[in-house]
Structure 1
Amino acid sequence: MARSLVIKVTAGADEPERCNQAFTVAAAALASGVPVSLWLTGEAAWFAVPGKAKELTLEHAVPLPDLLDAVLAGGRVTLCTQCAARRDITVDDVIDGVRIAGAPTFVEEAVAEGAQALVY
């Protein structure tokens, strides 16, 4: 069984460098053939909403919309259920391909055989 990455990003526009790093690692892993599940939690929850990723800019970094598109194309993107609810984000508000799921699903992915979980 191939190793996989489960990446939880908790930072958003409030901490652009840490946020962008999580997306960069996710996209790089996918480009290397590693299966990736990216979880949007905390302030990163906003990036599940169309147009929000373009609001984050970081010098010398790949634009967040490009990284998000790469992860959506080759991996899985999940918005935390509670984080969505606290921000009044519903399934009708999110980008196509983003699912909403909670802690039990995160735990299941994080402890799966061959999985490596990272939190940013």
Structure 2
Amino acid sequence: MSRSLVVKVTAGADAPERCAQAFTVAATALASGVDVSLWLTGESSWFALPGRAAEFDLPHSAPLSDLLISLLSAGRVTLCTQCAARREITENDVLPGVRIAGAAVFVEEILLDNAQALVY
């Protein structure tokens, strides 16, 4: 049975250490061969937009844009439906590979895949 991890990140530039931790854990798990799904919710929703991750800077942390690129290339990145709507973000606005989905898909990923879930 393959291992899978769902990481839900709620923090963005408002809580940079928590945000960076979520991306770092997700990217590290992915590099370790774990199937990873990263969910962008709350203030992290902005990172679904082109260029936003490159603006994020936290000393002694891997560049968020690099972590996001690796997650988009080998994992799954999902933007919360309600969070996108509240910020007026549409499918036409997001980076290639980012999907917009809601709570039912989040629950499905955890329960059907028997995944471990982390919330930051």
Normalised TM-score (structure 1): 0.98
CA distance in 2, matches of 1:112, 1:41: 21
Poorly superposed stretches of 4+, deviation over 6 Å: none
Which consecutive residues of structure 2, in runs of 5 or more, have no partner in the other structure?
Answer: none
Partner secondary structure for residue 111 of structure 1: helix
CA distance in 1, matches of 2:70, 2:21: 14
CA distance in 1, matches of 2:102, 2:114: 21
| 1:113 Cα offset (Å) | 4.1
Q: Which residue of 2 aligns with 1:91?
A: 91
| 1:55 Cα offset (Å) | 1.5
| 1:112 Cα offset (Å) | 2.4
Which consecutive residues of structure 1, in runs of 5 or more, have no partner in the other structure?
Answer: none
Seq. identity, %: 72
> How many residues are treated as equivalent by the alignment?
120
Q: Which residue of 2 aligns with 1:12?
A: 12
Partner secondary structure for residue 118 of structure 1: strand
CA distance in 2, matches of 1:118, 1:70: 19
CA distance in 1, matches of 2:113, 2:43: 29
Q: Which residue of 2 aligns with 1:42?
A: 42
